[in-house]
Every structure is written in C-alpha cells, then in structure tokens.
Amino acid sequence: MEATFERTIDALDGLFAFVERFAAEQALDESALYAANLAVEELFTNLVRHNAGGTRRIEVDMEVADDRLTIRLKDFDVDPVDLSGEAPPDVSLPLEKRQPGGLGMHLVRTLFDSLSYDYRDRTLSVTAVKNLEDSHV
C-alpha cells in the first residue's frame, strides 16, 4: 500500500489515517499498529527536518509479507546526507543529565528489527522492518 504526502507536519493526520487503513486491511494487532504509527511519524518528521528546503512529496510504502511488517519512506531531490550514524541517546542518565532530542530514532530502532538508509540518485530511502511474531508494544 503506497501513498505520497506533502512534506509538512500538518500531513500527520493523513499519514495516521493511511496507517489505520493499512492496519485494518492486514488485521494488525494494537501493538503493531502503535509501532507502525510511531515509525511513520518519526521517520516522516525526520525526513522533513533534514531536507527543509525540499519541495517534493514524501512517498510512504507499507507491506506485510512472511509475517514481517516493512515500512519504507522515500524523499526525493535530497542533498547527500548520512543519517545512519546518529548516536543513540543514553537513556540511563538521570534527569539532570538528560537532554531533549534523539529519542525518535531510538524508539524506532528498539521497536523494529532493522532500520536502514539508502541514498542514490538524490533519493533518500529509509526502511524499517518488524517481525510481527515479536510485536511487544
């Protein structure tokens, strides 16, 4: 199931409606639905933020095959960027040492079995894959 969305935070309602339709079609359980919503939001807002001058719509593709949920977002006409090396936050730190930020990708990496980036021909793709047998949120 595939759709494109305008690159604005205001597109999130449409994104969530898209995820809900997909989840209903695939009979995803509540845990998988929560994880899917979270991944789509975090990955979408990350792409919007890292390509602030972009004008193209962002493509979102979701599928379930062999009991694995795959979510892929593509952004077009993107300057070279490497998002794969972002250090995860240290979530064991006490309040006084914690800083807001960096949690989004940490949540996706924890909830999904893999998170990968691909950049070619000025197109940035990010793909999250979750084994639905271990759905735990």
Partner 1 sequence: MFEASRASAALITFMGRLDASQVDKARMVLDSVTESCTIDFSELDYISSAGLGILLSTQKRLSESGNGLTISGMNRHIREIFHIAGFEIVFKIV
Q: How far is CA 55 from the centre of its chain?
A: 19
Single residue of 22, 42, 75, 126 touching partner 1 by CB under 8 A: 42
Judge contact between 47 and 58, C-beta under 8 A. yes
**E strands within 46-122?**
58-65, 68-76, 114-120
**What is residue 5's three-state secondary structure?**
strand
Span of 11-19, 21-29, 64-72, 120-128 interacting with partner 1 by CB under 8 A = 11-19
Q: How far is CA 57 from the centre of its chain?
A: 15
Question: Closer CB to partner 1, residue 83 or residue 107?
Answer: 107
Q: Is 13 in the site for partner 1 (CB under 8 A)?
A: yes
Question: Closer CB to partner 1, residue 30 or residue 77?
Answer: 30
What residues between 59 and 118 interact with partner 1 by CB under 8 A?
91-96, 98, 100-101, 103-104, 106-107, 110-111
Output the DSSP codes for 113-133.
Answer: SEEEEEEETTEEEEEEEEEGG
Q: Is 131 in the site for partner 1 (CB under 8 A)?
A: no
Neighbours of 61 (CB within 10 A): 15
Span of 33-41, 53-61, 78-86, 122-130 interacting with partner 1 by CB under 8 A = 33-41
Interface ranges with partner 1 (CB under 8 A):
9-10, 12-13, 16, 30-31, 34, 37-38, 41-42, 45, 91-96, 98, 100-101, 103-104, 106-107, 110-111, 136-137
